[in-house]
Amino acid sequence: MTTTVSAPLDVAALRADFPILGRTVRDGKRLVYLDSGATSQKPTQVLDAERRFLQERNAAVHRGAHQLAEEATDAYERARALVADFVGARADELVFTKNATEGVNLVAYAMGNAATSGPEAARFLLGPGDEIVTTELEHHANLVPWQELAKRTGATLRWFPVTDSGRIDLSDLDTVVNERTKVVAFAHQSNVLGTVTDPAPIVARAKQVGALTLLDACQSVPHMPVDLHALDVDFAIFSSHKMLGPYGIGVLYGRAELLAALPPFLTGGSMIEMVRMEGSTFAPPPQRFEAGTPMTSQAVGLGAAVEYLSELGMDRVAAHEHALTVAALAGLAEIPGIRVLGPPLVDGDVADRGGAVSFVVDGVHPHDAGQVLDDQGIAVRVGHHCAWPLHRRLGVPASVRASVYVYNDLDDIDAFLAGVRETQRFFGVV
Amino acid sequence: MQLQQMYQEIILDHYKNPHGRGLRDPYDAESFQVNPTCGDEVTLRVRLDGEQVADVSYEGQGCSISQASTSVLTDLVVGKPVGEAFKKLDAFLELMQGRGEVEPDEDVLEDGIAFAGVARYPARVKCALLGWMAFKDAVARAEGKA
């Protein structure tokens, strides 16, 4: 790590903010929660913010002239501003969606709608001969919507392959992204391997050929400092529930001038400018993309989550997770019969690798390994983690994934490593 | 420790030494089933001889539960009339969906009773049923052809 860190996270203290960590599982065992890549736990501050909003200021936002409606609207828009500030964006560049998956679909469907929209939407037009680019390590959420867009428009889907060590292979960047490319969608950090991709070369090439970029930041925004303006991507998506926030809300970032020209996806109330029986015009962004009553208390909760994370300091969060990841990788390397997917440690360290460690245990199916870990109170994810093509590429049907966050400590890693050994002992493979 | 209740010796034995494994000809119908949450899959063939299940052959990849359960299935249904095989299927379904509250009948399910502990883990019930669903589907296809 090159980041300078003033003081490490005080994990013992912050664990007190997460009451669920105090419960036991499977006959009184300490809960070792290593599944934050799937969803994070929520601190009391976030839960309190939601409850306080509902108890003190609840009303439908952006309508109604009464005091509660004003206060609710202020709380909702303040949350948008907090989140925007957290990722280096402007508030009017952030759209709240149901989840991150909806964010990708919003862009994909809006691009599909360009054919029936005004001339300002022409830049999003796509048809036979055009190309959509993604990568082989994507979460299904950043793959299937593009497959479907290709199907609807006649465009061709292409993808960057993945190297043996689990990184996006950019060696053919200039061929894969070419004059026919309309959009390049890729993950900032792999949800399976933790590998972090530097967006710079992809963004530079996309700009050269006039293609749009969409960054899946679901696994980066919760875990490291992310400045979307500095990264210069056109769109980005991320998810509240993976960053200490509530369920039911995700975020789509779009550069202001793009959102201004992008046709709507979902239509209805709240997103209109003027409605007549013959047809309607639409509100400016972000309202144009927030049809219907929005998830207000959830936005307030997400605002509290980014305040919480900001107070911890994202540099410190990243450094903390890096230390845990290195400890997990080092421990696994000492256990014979374990194959870690993704970049290994070299001289005791690894660069550009976030806090997700996926592996297979020789002779033990991931489902069975997960069950033995669970029996010891250790919660991990097993399966393909919504990245089936990546698993196919790496030659395994499924894997076990341990993923860390702010509240994990070295005791968790020690328990996990002991659990992996117990898995081997239980199934008699050592 | 509940883990031993789930991974009974019988299950681990079937996992390590599966019965009837491998795809065989001739067959009347084939079914491919996949568990979309974990990627486990099974391809299962059925050959009927009149009302009898003459052979069940299969190939797949998956956890110990899914593989052992398919092995147990072949023991239970091969050589039996289709009606009896489906009674066993119903009994196994009832056991697996019973959240550990159903007392299995060893006369009907034989080694299948070892899966009673699996029924306590809702996430694993699908694993135990993978091969059975393939069997049900393959028989339906075979009968549809006849």
Look at residue B100 in the predicted model and tell me its pLDDT.
85
Q: Does A375 touch chain B (CB under 8 A)?
A: yes
In Å, what is the CA distance from B52 to each residue of B26, B77, B135?
Answer: 15, 9, 14
**Chain B: residue whose CA lies nearest to A369:** B63
Q: How confident is the model at residue B145 (pLDDT cuts 50, 70, 90)?
A: confident
Q: How confident is the model at residue A1 (pLDDT cuts 50, 70, 90)?
A: very low
Mean pLDDT value of segment A71-92: 97
Q: Which residues pair with B62 in a beta bridge?
A: none
Is a pLDDT exceeding 60 seen at residue A96? yes
Residues of A in contact with B61 (CB under 8 A): 397
* Band (B6; pLDDT cuts 50, 70, 90): confident
Strand partners, A260: none
**Model confidence at A2, in pLDDT bands (50, 70, 90)?**
very low
The shortest CB-CB distance from B62 to any of A365, A372, A388 is to A365
From A257, A376, A359, A338, select the one nearest B1 (Cα to Cα).
A376
CB contact (8 A) between residue A367 and residue B38? yes
Residue A265 has pLDDT above 80, yes or no: yes
Tokens 């975020």 locate to: A251
Which pLDDT score, from 0 to 100, does residue B51 have? 93
Give residue-wise pLDDT tens across range A379-409: 999 999 999 999 999 999 999 999 999 999 9
Distance from CA of B102 to the nearest CA of A (A): 21
Interface contact A367-B63, CB threshold 8 A: yes
Per-residue tokens: A167: 């990184």
Q: Which residue has the tokens 């601190």?
A: A43
CB atoms within 10 A of CB A315: 15
The chain-wide mean pLDDT, for chain A, equals 96
Q: What is the pLDDT of residues A338-361, one digit of tens each?
A: 999 999 999 999 999 999 999 999
Q: Say yes or no to pLDDT of B1 above 90.
A: no
State which residue of chain A sits closest to B124, comparing Cα positions: A367
The pLDDT value recorded for residue B146 is: 61
Say which of A27, A365, A375 has its CB closest to residue B64.
Answer: A365
**Residue A182 scores a pLDDT above 60:** yes
Active site residue A386: yes
Task: Report how far residue A263's alpha carbon sits from residue A390's, in angstroms, rounded to the nearest whole number.
Answer: 32
pLDDT digits (tens, 9 = 90+) for A40-80: 999 999 999 999 999 999 999 988 889 999 999 999 999 99
A112-134 mean pLDDT: 95
Q: Which residues of B touch A388 (CB under 8 A)?
A: 39
Q: Cα–Cα distance between A399 and A383 in angstroms, integer? A: 6
What pLDDT is stored for residue A7 in this prediction? 83
Q: What is the pLDDT of residue A389?
A: 96
pLDDT band for position A3 (cuts 50, 70, 90): very low
Contact B63 A397 (CB under 8 A): no
Give residues with Cβ within 8 angstroms of B138, minimum separation 6.
Answer: B29, B30, B31, B44, B45, B46
A160, A355 in Cβ contact below 8 A? Answer: no
* CA gyration radius, chain A: 22
Which residues on chain B are in Cβ contact (under 8 Å) with A397?
A: 39-41, 61-62
pLDDT number for residue B36: 85
DSSP B69-130: HHHHHHHHHTTSBHHHHHHHHHHHHHHHTTTT-----HHHHGGGGGGGGGGG-HHHHHHHHH
Give the three-state DSSP class for A96.
strand
The C-alpha of A354 sits at a distance from chain B's nearest C-alpha, in angstroms, of 23
Indicate yes or no: CB of A27 within 8 angstroms of CB of B121.
no
Question: What confidence tier does B39 reach under pLDDT thresholds 50, 70, 90?
Answer: confident
| Candidate list A259, A386, A390, A415, residue with the active-site label | A386
Total beta-carbon pairs less than 8 A apart between chain A and chain B: 49
Q: Choose, out of A27, A368, A374, the residue to mutate when testing the contact with B (most B CBs < 10 Å).
A: A368
Whether B2 and chain A come into contact, CB under 8 Å, resolves to yes
Cα(A269)–Cα(A63) distance, rounded to whole angstroms? 11
Q: What is the pLDDT of residue A403?
A: 98
Measured from the Cβ of residue A386, the count of other Cβ atoms closer than 10 Å reads 19
- Euclidean distance between CA atoms A110 and A178, whole angstroms: 22
Task: Evaluate if residue A5 carries a pLDDT over 70.
Answer: no
In the 8-state DSSP scheme, what is residue B142?
Answer: H
